[in-house]
């Protein structure tokens, strides 16, 4: 190699280092999350350039709960919001996941996880579900597992999915209100936006707020976590650190700019702006970090799941948490 060619080649790394980070190609990080107006508000600041990154482009996709559970196994997304119980269930099948953050945590108010019946129904409490049909958005989701646990604790119902005191059926989330209104099911666990509309319309009645039962028994529980895969995390650790930073910053922006974010989301989702105040204040918190409190909540959920036969064992939460995740 000629001296001039050698010097030119040797200068390439230095020239690349001198290029500003924002001028380099960004790493794309794909994220699948719950399809819900409330969580869309968490991501609104990222989608609308209020929270930016010089390192990554974040591409998010909203999915229904059964789709999220299925997508976890495919590894088609870099990060996925999944049911808490998916982690030990996946581990039993040979698929290792790593926890990045707590995505959805029950609010201290304990609302949003009610059991709903039609106005005028003879059902007055959870105890009346014995021998009746209860519709759910996802029979094997963590959120519905918590409903089952609450009904078991409070009313002594056998809530096994087959052969128990209650006939439990899975209905696609968009179809739940119609199934309840037409009598296809006697009661239903609605998704949050449906629960809000039910509160406003008076067409349905909440006969049991299961979140309050569980808060009294266990404290705040975590229903959904953000996870990724060891090989992806090892290949691009800086990209996933940046993902965590952006998500936490986006949730913080949404809460500190409610008029801007909630107003825009109300127009986009065609729902009352007050829904978002209710969702964030009375139904969920979105920590987007993973500290000791969240690890304890996850361990509790796994213990409940093992007792219900939904997971074979309760693994060590710490061993399945990414060592570079945000702790606070």
Q: Which phi and psi angles does 221 have, rounded to 5°?
A: -105, 155
Domains and CATH numbers, the chain: 24-106+220-320 (3.40.190.10), 114-218 (3.40.190.10)
pLDDT for the residue 48: 98
pLDDT for the residue 12: 45
pLDDT for the residue 20: 52
pLDDT for the residue 62: 96
pLDDT for the residue 114: 96
- Cα 48 to Cα 305: distance, rounded to the nearest angstrom: 38
Residues 6+ apart with CB under 8 A from 315: 87, 88, 91, 302
- Cα 256 to Cα 152: distance, rounded to the nearest angstrom: 38
**Full pLDDT tens readout for the chain, 328 residues:** 444 443 444 444 444 445 454 455 899 999 999 998 999 999 999 999 999 999 999 999 999 877 887 898 889 999 999 989 999 999 999 999 999 999 999 999 999 999 999 999 999 999 999 999 999 988 988 899 999 999 999 999 999 999 999 999 999 989 999 999 999 999 999 988 899 999 899 999 999 999 999 999 999 999 999 999 999 999 999 999 999 999 999 999 999 999 999 999 999 999 999 999 999 999 999 999 999 999 999 999 999 999 999 999 999 999 999 999 999 7
pLDDT for the residue 73: 87
3-state SS assignment for residue 306: helix
pLDDT for the residue 25: 80
Short-list 222, 245, 242, 225, CA closest to 233: 242
- Cα 255 to Cα 270: distance, rounded to the nearest angstrom: 20
pLDDT for the residue 306: 97
């Amino acid at each position: 190699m000629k001296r001039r060619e050698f010097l030119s080649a040797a200068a390439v790394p230095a020239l690349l280092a001198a290029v500003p980070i924002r001028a380099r190609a960004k790493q794309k990080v794909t994220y699948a999350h719950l399809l819900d107006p409330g969580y869309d508000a968490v991501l609104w600041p990222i989608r609308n350039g209020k929270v930016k990154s010089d390192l990554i482009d974040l591409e998010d996709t909203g999915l229904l709960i059964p789709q999220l559970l299925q997508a976890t196994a495919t590894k088609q997304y870099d990060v996925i919001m999944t049911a808490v119980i998916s982690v030990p269930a996946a581990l039993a099948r040979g698929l290792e996941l790593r926890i990045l953050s707590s995505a959805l945590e029950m609010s201290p108010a304990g609302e949003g996880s009610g059991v709903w019946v039609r106005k005028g129904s003879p059902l007055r409490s959870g105890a009346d579900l014995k021998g009746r049909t209860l519709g759910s958005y996802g029979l094997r989701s963590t959120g519905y597992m918590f409903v089952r646990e609450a009904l078991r604790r409070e009313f002594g119902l056998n809530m096994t999915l087959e052969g128990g005191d209650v006939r439990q059926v899975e209905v696609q989330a968009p179809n739940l209100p119609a199934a309840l209104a037409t009598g296809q099911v006697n009661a239903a666990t609605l998704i949050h936006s449906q629960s809000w509309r039910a509160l406003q319309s008076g067409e349905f009645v909440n006969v049991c707020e299961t979140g309050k039962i569980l808060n009294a028994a266990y404290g705040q529980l975590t229903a959904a976590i953000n996870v990724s895969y060891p090989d992806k995390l090892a290949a691009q650790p800086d990209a996933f650190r940046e993902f965590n930073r952006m998500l936490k910053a986006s949730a913080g922006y949404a809460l500190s700019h409610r008029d801007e974010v909630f107003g825009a989301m109300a127009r986009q989702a065609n729902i009352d702006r007050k829904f978002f105040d209710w969702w964030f204040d009375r139904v969920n918190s979105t920590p987007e970090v993973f500290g000791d409190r969240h690890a304890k909540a996850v361990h509790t959920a796994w213990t409940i799941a093992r007792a219900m036969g939904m997971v074979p064992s309760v693994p060590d939460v710490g061993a399945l948490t990414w060592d570079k995740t945000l702790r606070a």
